Amino acid sequence: MGIQQFSFNAAETASNKTPRKINRNLVFNLIRTQQPISRADLARVCGLRRSTISLIVEDLIASGWIVEGSLGQLPRGRRPTFLELNSRRAIIALDIHPAQTTIAVADLAGRIIAQQVIDVPQEANKALTAIVAAIRKILATHKERTFDGIGICLPGRTDPHLQKLIFAPNLKWPVLSLKSKMEKATGLRVEMDNVANACVLSEVWFGASDGMHDIVVVNVSEGIGTGIFANGRLLRGESGLAGEFGHVQLQPDGPLCACGNYGCWEVLASNRAGVRYYNETAAVPVASFDQLLRLGQNGDQLATDALKKMAKHLGAGMRMITAALAPREIVVVGDITTAWHMFGSIVLDEMKKHSLSKPPILRPAYDGNAARLRSAVALVFSEGSAWTEQ
């Protein structure tokens, strides 16, 4: 049986001459984005014959991807049966950070059903063992669901064949062995990618982007990573290193970065930078970015000043992205988005300074770490066998 990949190009349309597997993708995507929807409405939206729609729908029902739901209301005639995704199918999503990992259960629409945060030991084998044990426990807790795979968002770059980490200055343990251990322990397929790459796929798959315009996702966390979607596909570059704007030097005399350079964008505008700015002036230091955000949102002036400084540096880096790539939009992912109403305008104003052209749309992903978890779901769908040809 052949492995079916999903297309992220919204410009692709169905026809009665289009290969069956592409029509199947498109019908599934329409149900996913417009559920609940009737067979008749599916035919009207995608232009396929009703007989073709019926065959695809029956195939998807038999495969367990969609189910028949409620009945619609019409002035006369037979009431239509609405179609929707099968809520019993799910994905395990992992958002890995150097000291903590969030593990979640998500449905096919990217909704987070359950999640937990576990502290990750520094020692490599203990870290892998802890994560695998947590996943086994989640699988046992959700026996009523069918799991289609595990998606993992990494704070680093791997080579194109996932054989090794090629750039992960903030991660100190060999996460790649997690893939084989997890597949062996759970029997599920595991897909991994850099968190920024995964987030940009998620914006096209689950978000507001139509997949027809170039977008850049900026993930702001312990470091800064960017994912680039251009010309209808994810841009990886040579050896998978495209998008490492976080390690472009903006201040030669700036602080030392984890990559060994000085004054990188990451060391000026990441969560760690915001904490550093505050702790340089405060009598009582904060231990986490969450603490800093809470202080800022509660009116603490030193915290507000630190977050404003971080926001200005974020905007300066986005000006660099705009000049280099000229995307249609830039989407920000990370905890800073929970305070975007306070600091977003600072980022935007700094991005617009001395702009050579019309600046891109700048918008936040208003759901904190859920955006990264949802992106792990997109990885499972985009990388291959989320479903197979019958």
Residue 341 forms part of a structural domain: yes
The reply to whether 205 falls in a domain is no
> Does 15 score more than 50 pLDDT?
yes
State the amino acid at position 269 in one-letter form. Answer: A
Residues in a beta bridge with 3:
388
**Residue 135 forms part of a structural domain:** yes
We report the CATH number of the domain holding residue 45 as 1.10.10.10
Q: Which of 7-11, 160-164, 233-237 has the lowest mean pLDDT?
A: 7-11
Which residue carries 């999503």 as its tokens?
Answer: 93
Per-residue pLDDT band for 231 (boundaries 50, 70, 90) equals confident
Same domain, 251 and 144: no
Confidence bin at 161 (pLDDT 50/70/90): low
pLDDT attached to residue 171:
66
Above 80 in pLDDT, residue 160? no
Mean pLDDT of 153-157: 79
State the chain's mean pLDDT as an integer: 84
Q: Percent of the chain at pLDDT above 90? A: 45
Of 85, 108, 142, the one marking the end of a domain is: 85
Taking alpha carbons only, the member of 250, 258, 260 closest to residue 318 is 250
* Residue 369, token pair as written in the block: 């770490």
The pLDDT of residue 134 is 92
Q: Are residues 351 and 377 in the same domain?
A: no
Q: What is the CATH number of the domain that holds 245?
A: 3.30.420.40
Q: Are residues 379 and 262 in the same domain?
A: no
| 32, pLDDT greater than 90 | no
pLDDT greater at residue 144 or residue 169:
144
Maximum CA extent, the chain: 75
Residue 293 carries which side chain, given as an amino acid letter?
L
Residues 80 and 136 occupy one common structural domain = no
Q: Give the HSE-up count for residue 223: Cα atoms under 13 Å, Cβ half-sphere.
A: 29
The residue from 85, 112, 147 where one domain ends is 85
- Do 127 and 230 lie in one domain? The reply is no
Question: How many structural domains are present in the chain?
Answer: 3
Of the candidates 137, 173, 141, 143, which has an alpha carbon nearest to the alpha carbon of residue 155? 173
Query: Quick one: pLDDT band at residue 296, thresholds 50, 70, 90?
Result: very high
Q: Look at residue 100 in the predicted model and tell me its pLDDT.
A: 85
The answer to whether position 383 is within a domain reads yes
Q: What is the mean pLDDT of residues 99-115?
A: 90
* Spatial contact of 331 and 363, defined as CB atoms under 8 Å apart: yes
Domain boundary (47, 65, 85) is at 85
In a domain, 204, yes or no: no
Per-residue pLDDT at 192 exceeds 90: no
Most confident by average pLDDT, 63-67, 104-108, 381-385: 104-108
Q: Which pLDDT does position 390 carry in this prediction?
A: 32
Both 168 and 138 in one domain: the answer is: yes
146 and 15 in a common domain: no
User: Given the DSSP bridges, would you call strands 329-334 and 215-220 parallel, antiparallel or unpaired?
Assistant: parallel
Question: Are 100 and 174 contained in the same domain?
Answer: yes
Predicted pLDDT of residue 377: 87
- Whether residue 306 lies inside any domain: the answer is yes
pLDDT at 278 over 60: yes
Q: What pLDDT sits at residue 363?
A: 93
Residues 276 and 320 in one domain: yes
| pLDDT value at residue 74 | 52
* pTM, two decimal places: 0.80
Rounded to an integer, what distance in angstroms lies between the CA atom of residue 137 and that of residue 135?
A: 5
pLDDT tens digits, 36-81: 899 888 988 888 888 889 999 999 999 888 999 765 555 555 667 8
Q: Is 251 in the same domain as 214?
A: yes
226, part of any domain: yes
Q: What is the mean pLDDT of residues 2-20?
A: 49
Mean pLDDT of 354-367: 84
Domain region containing 315: 210-367
Which residues have CB under 8 Å from 171's CB, separation 6+?
A: 96, 98, 154, 155, 156, 165
Same domain for 138 and 242: no
353, 241: one domain: yes
Q: What is the mean pLDDT of residues 15-33?
A: 73
Strongest mean pLDDT among 93-102, 120-129, 313-322, 349-358: 313-322
- The answer as to whether 313 is a domain residue is yes
